[in-house]
């Protein structure tokens, strides 16, 4: 079931809200049970067979959590239990995400009777797997408390985030269902949540889906594209991915807010970033937080301890040396982004995507180390601050664009072919044989899209007066430019009502979200 479908908007969601309101008049447990049940139904509507996988994962990790927390007595070491649970979780993830593609390929080549190629990757398996691993790690470290099965199930399956994030931390969500509060629907939450949801739905239906055909056609045969067509196709995909993922993140936050639940922000105008470090603090923010806490930091700590045992320094001064920088910064960054690239997919192109960002981040960190050593000499150049900012945004966007080509392409060769087209290496291809020729409508849509991306406030900035200030990022607070503030007034209701009507008219054939494949 898709957020951008009539079934969800006029069937599933009203039923969930009505049942929630009824359950809220009884008891907290009724609320938790109802939302858990309907979240499982939401997942099962897509492919019922994989509902068993989701439920099995929940039961397994709940049992593992009970052992780690001591709710079920055991003589086994907690660290051994934790690693066994992590291996089982990652084993299931690797089986469905990486072994299936190999089996599919083998089935196509050998034409065996068992059609593995009919198997589909379970939706959201990466998200609900990593959510539960983080919970187990925190339980083992004493940073989390064991929950009852219904509450734990709701934490994992709550339908707004189940398929494509944000990646939730138990400390953010579980307390919101534990507090003794009035669970009944409130007009304030409904108005803010519905507005947030409609803005996200607008990004998906009226922007991402409209620019998608240009990207799909261009990437279908990148080897036949001349420079202009290749650039348009690449820029179209960058815009499609931006609005598709931003739209989903907004819809997830808006849906949760309908029930009075606050989700963490997951997207903060990443194409406005002035550096690649800033980009990863704005793009898929909960993933960045996750890999920093559970991947990068453990790797960095292990490297630091090893250096200490070897008698080497781990100070900031050591980081300024070539050997120290490679060991303390570049190595953990590369290992982390390698794993992040593999997380996104089984193809070699995803590995290149991760390693490209590892190189970008290492260069960016090296530049910051250099600035710290130069100090005042660099900070004194304030006359060119605007030019420096614009060049930083342009350089960062270009670097991201190159990596996104590998992210989108069907393979490394296809990505290199697209890059070759952008560099003008396909001049030998006759114009008449080009697979893709941009239309005036596509160019106008691209222009409008990038004006919105770089010139307009994002959703949380528009709704900033009704969002806890602690939730807003430093980027959201600092950025100036055009200022638009949502208010619970008739004018805003009329505008969003007209936008919603236009969405319903255009939403004839709902498309899936790009991050569903991860």
> For the segment 174-192, what is each residue's pLDDT rounded down to a tens digit?
888 877 788 899 999 999 9
pLDDT mean over 213-224: 92
Q: Which has the higher per-residue pLDDT, 121 or 379?
A: 121
Q: Which residues have a Cβ under 8 Å from the Cβ of 54 and sit 6 or more positions away?
A: 40, 43, 122, 128, 157
pLDDT tens digits for 385-429? 788 889 999 999 999 999 999 999 999 999 999 999 999 998 887
Whole-number Å distance between alpha carbons of 431 and 224: 9
The residue extents of the domains of the chain are 6-185, 187-267+425-518, 281-399
Question: Helix (H, G, I), strand (E, B), or coil: what is residue 283?
Answer: strand
Whole-number Å distance between alpha carbons of 169 and 12: 26
- Residue 423 structure tokens: 């560099």
Question: Helix (H, G, I), strand (E, B), or coil: what is residue 446?
Answer: helix
Beta strand spans in 77-179 (E): none
> Which residue among 161, 344, 357, 365 is the active-site one?
344
Whole-number Å distance between alpha carbons of 513 and 330: 33
pLDDT more than 70, % of the chain:
91
pLDDT at 413: 94
pLDDT at 468: 66
How many Cβ atoms are within 10 Å of 185's Cβ, its own excluded? 17
Q: How confident is the model at residue 16 (pLDDT cuts 50, 70, 90)?
A: very high
Cα→Cα distances 351→214, 380, 418, Å: 25, 40, 17
pLDDT mean over 357-374: 89
Whole-number Å distance between alpha carbons of 436 and 216: 10
Please, are residues 152 and 62 in contact by the beta-carbon 8 Å criterion?
yes
Whole-number Å distance between alpha carbons of 408 and 290: 23
| ∠ CA 308-312-317, rounded to 5° | 115
283 - beta bridge partners? 267
pLDDT mean over 354-382: 79
| Residue 115 in this model has a pLDDT that exceeds 50 | no
Whole-number Å distance between alpha carbons of 296 and 288: 10
Which of 477, 489, 38 lies closest to 265, judged by CA?
477
- Give the mean pLDDT of the chain: 88
Whole-number Å distance between alpha carbons of 190 and 260: 8
Q: Which residues have a Cβ under 8 Å from the Cβ of 517 and sit 6 or more positions away?
A: 121, 345
- Residue 69 structure tokens: 């927390």
- Residue 384 structure tokens: 């060119």
pLDDT mean over 229-236: 96
Which of 44, 136, 154 lies closest to 88, judged by CA?
136
pLDDT at 32: 93
> Which of 281-285, 413-417, 428-432, 486-490 has the lowest average pLDDT?
428-432
Question: Is 344 one of the annotated active-site residues of the chain?
Answer: yes
The helix (H) or strand (E) run that includes residue 18 is helix 13-24
| Residue 246 in this model has a pLDDT that exceeds 70 | yes
267 - beta bridge partners? 283
| Residue 132 in this model has a pLDDT that exceeds 60 | yes
Q: How confident is the model at residue 505 (pLDDT cuts 50, 70, 90)?
A: very high
Helix ranges restricted to H, 345-489: 348-374, 376-379, 385-408, 412-422, 440-455, 459-462, 474-478
| Residue 109 in this model has a pLDDT that exceeds 50 | no
pLDDT more than 90, % of the chain:
61
pLDDT mean over 354-363: 96
Q: How confident is the model at residue 116 (pLDDT cuts 50, 70, 90)?
A: very low
Q: Which has the higher per-residue pLDDT, 456 or 124?
A: 456
How many Cβ atoms are within 10 Å of 454's Cβ, its own excluded? 13
The DSSP code for 205 is I
Whole-number Å distance between alpha carbons of 131 and 136: 9
Whole-number Å distance between alpha carbons of 306 and 93: 31
Q: How confident is the model at residue 120 (pLDDT cuts 50, 70, 90)?
A: low
| ∠ CA 389-235-345, rounded to 5° | 100
- Residue 135 structure tokens: 């919970």
Question: Helix (H, G, I), strand (E, B), or coil: what is residue 267?
Answer: strand
pLDDT at 31: 93
Torsion angle defined by CA atoms of residues 376, 380, 384 and 386, in that order, rounded to the nearest 10 degrees: 80
Please, are residues 265 and 247 in contact by the beta-carbon 8 Å criterion?
no
Which of 377, 373, 333, 370 lies closest to 355, judged by CA?
333
- Residue 185 structure tokens: 């629907």
Cα→Cα distances 479→145, 221, 428, 475, Å: 38, 39, 45, 6
Please, are residues 341 and 353 in contact by the beta-carbon 8 Å criterion?
yes
């Amino acid at each position: 079931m898709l957020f951008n479908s009539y079934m969800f908007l006029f069937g599933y969601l009203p039923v969930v809200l009505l049942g929630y309101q009824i359950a809220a008049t009884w008891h907290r447990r009724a609320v938790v049970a109802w939302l858990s049940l309907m979240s499982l139904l939401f997942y099962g509507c897509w492919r019922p067979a994989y509902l068993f996988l989701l439920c099995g994962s929940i039961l397994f990790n709940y049992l593992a959590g009970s052992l780690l927390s001591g709710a079920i007595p055991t003589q086994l070491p907690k660290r051994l239990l934790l690693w066994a649970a992590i291996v089982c979780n990652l084993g299931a993830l690797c089986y469905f995400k990486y072994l299936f593609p190999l089996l599919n390929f083998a089935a196509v080549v050998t034409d065996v009777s068992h059609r593995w190629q009919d198997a589909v990757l379970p939706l959201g398996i990466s998200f609900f797997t990593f959510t539960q691993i983080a919970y187990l790690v925190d339980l083992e470290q004493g940073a989390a408390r064991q929950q009852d099965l219904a509450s734990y199930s709701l934490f994992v399956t709550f339908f707004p985030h189940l398929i494509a994030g944000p990646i939730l931390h138990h400390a953010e969500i579980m307390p919101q269902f534990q507090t003794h509060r009035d669970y009944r629907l409130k007009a304030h939450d409904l108005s803010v949540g519905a507005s947030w949801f409609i803005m996200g739905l607008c990004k998906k239906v009226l922007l991402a889906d409209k620019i998608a055909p240009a990207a799909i056609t261009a990437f279908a045969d990148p080897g036949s594209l001349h420079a202009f067509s290749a650039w348009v196709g690449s820029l179209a995909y960058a815009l499609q991915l931006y609005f598709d993922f931003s739209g989903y993140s907004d819809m997830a936050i808006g849906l949760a807010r309908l029930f009075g639940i606050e989700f963490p922000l997951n997207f903060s105008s990443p194409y406005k970033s002035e550096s690649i470090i800033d980009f990863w603090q704005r793009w898929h923010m909960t993933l960045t937080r996750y890999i920093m806490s559970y991947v990068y930091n453990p790797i960095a700590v292990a490297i630091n301890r090893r250096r200490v045992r070897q008698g080497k320094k781990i100070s900031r001064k050591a980081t300024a040396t070539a050997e120290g920088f490679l060991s303390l910064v570049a190595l953990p960054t590369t290992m982390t982004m390698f794993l992040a690239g593999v997380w996104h997919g089984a193809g070699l192109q995803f590995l290149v995507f991760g390693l490209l960002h590892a190189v970008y981040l290492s260069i960016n960190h090296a530049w910051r180390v250099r600035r710290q050593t130069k100090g005042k000499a660099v900070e004194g150049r304030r006359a060119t601050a605007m030019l420096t900012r614009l060049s930083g945004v342009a350089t960062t966007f270009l670097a991201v664009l190159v990596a996104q080509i590998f992210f989108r392409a069907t393979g490394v060769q296809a990505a290199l072919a697209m890059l070759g087209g952008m560099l003008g290496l396909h001049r030998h291809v006759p114009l008449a044989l080009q697979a893709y020729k941009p239309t005036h409508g596509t160019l106008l849509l691209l222009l409008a899209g990038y004006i919105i991306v770089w010139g307009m406030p994002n959703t949380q900035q528009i709704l900033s007066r009704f969002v806890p200030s602690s939730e807003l990022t430093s980027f959201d607070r600092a950025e100036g430019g055009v200022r638009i503030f949502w208010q619970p007034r008739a004018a805003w209701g009329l505008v969003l009502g007209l936008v919603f009507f236009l969405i319903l008219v255009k939403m004839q054939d709902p498309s899936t979200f790009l991050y569903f494949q991860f």
